[in-house]
Amino acid sequence: MDTQQVEGSRAAAEHADGSRSAPALPTLGALRAYENDIERVLITQEEIQSKLAELGEKITRDYEGRDLLLVGVLKGAFVMMADLARHIRLPLEFDFMAVSSYGAATQTSGVVRILKDLDHEIAGRDVLVVEDIIDSGLTLSYLLKNLRTRKPASLEICAMLHKVDVQQVPIDIRYVGFDIPPVFVVGYGLDYGERFRNLPFVGTLRPEVYRDAVS
Ligand code: IMP
Ligand code: MG
């Protein structure tokens, strides 16, 4: 990344008539601080974007003529949902749910609580649940059971990441971005202690980051 160019873009632009537009937000500067905490990039921004285009194409084909409702699982899925939705060339609606899963730790608790429910009924709708990552599968399995009782016309899952060999409950994932090893990852919506969600790639953290957090 060209540092000079990034810094330069933060300056307020001066127009010919002497007026000035607001300076761009210093997003990339903030990301540089995060990048020091990253051990390894597992999936690049380019890989993510081309995978989403591919998934969007499939979803467009599969849901043609249907009543598609994307249900995002907050907070992690919001980044993916925004990008994925723009690759789906169909009329669709959004809704969101928030469930508790990890808190600030990196191990799943198995305890799932609905913190925010859907705004609307889903009876008769074609519901596609958008998840950032499927680890033990406990969160999603609970969520699916709950959503099924509301009688949607169909209920499928689209997950950006799927950790292999760690599911404690079988889950049928219709659309999956990437299979990854069972390691803790951050970025592209995924957090560690609420940080790192805005990284445009998926990566692992340096061990010092966890050590600093507990000491
Ligand atoms: P599960 O119930 O074990 O499948 O966990 C699902 C939720 O835990 C995800 O929606 C994430 O919010 C969180 N999670 C699981 N693995 C990771 C990870 O590697 N990094 C960050 N969050 C994770
Ligand atoms: Mg999540």
Farthest CA pair distance, the chain: 64
| CB-based burial label for 66 (10 Å; 0-12, 13-18, 19+) | middle
**Higher-scoring residue by pLDDT: 39, 18:** 39
Answer for the pair 57, 87: CB distance below 8 angstroms, yes or no: yes
User: Mean per-residue pLDDT for 174-202?
Assistant: 96
Strand partners, 96: 72
| Best CA proximity match to 54, nearest among 92, 83, 94, 18 | 83
Alpha-carbon separation of residue 118 from 27, 98, 193 (angstroms): 31, 9, 25
What is the reported pLDDT for 16?
Answer: 74
Instruction: Answer yes or no: is the C-beta of 102 below 6 A from any ligand 1 atom.
Output: yes
Mutate which of 106, 138, 139 for ligand 1? The one with the most ligand atoms within 8 Å of its CB, which is 139
Asked if residue 130 lies in contact with residue 80, where contact means CB atoms within 8 angstroms, the answer is: yes
- Mutate which of 102, 144, 180 for ligand 1? The one with the most ligand atoms within 8 Å of its CB, which is 102
CATH 3.40.50.2020 fits 46-179, yes or no: yes
In percent, how much of the chain has pLDDT > 70?
A: 80
Domain spans, the chain: 46-179
- The ligand that comes nearest to the alpha carbon of residue 142 is 1
Catalytic residue among 135, 179, 191, 212: 135
By the 10 Å C-beta count (0-12 exposed, 13-18 middle, 19+ buried), 71 is classed as: buried
User: Which ligand neighbours the alpha carbon of 72 most closely?
Assistant: 2
- C-beta 108 within 6 A of ligand 1: yes
Please compute the mean of the pLDDT values over residues 58-64 and round it to a whole number. Answer: 98
Residue 151 to residues 55, 58, 112, 123, 129, Cα–Cα distance (Å): 25, 24, 21, 5, 14
Q: What are phi and psi of 84, to 5 degrees?
A: -60, -45
Round the average pLDDT of the chain to a whole number and report it. 86
Reported confidence tier of residue 125, pLDDT bands at 50, 70, 90: very high
Q: How confident is the model at residue 36 (pLDDT cuts 50, 70, 90)?
A: confident
pTM above 0.75, yes or no: yes
> Residue with structure tokens 């409950």?
169
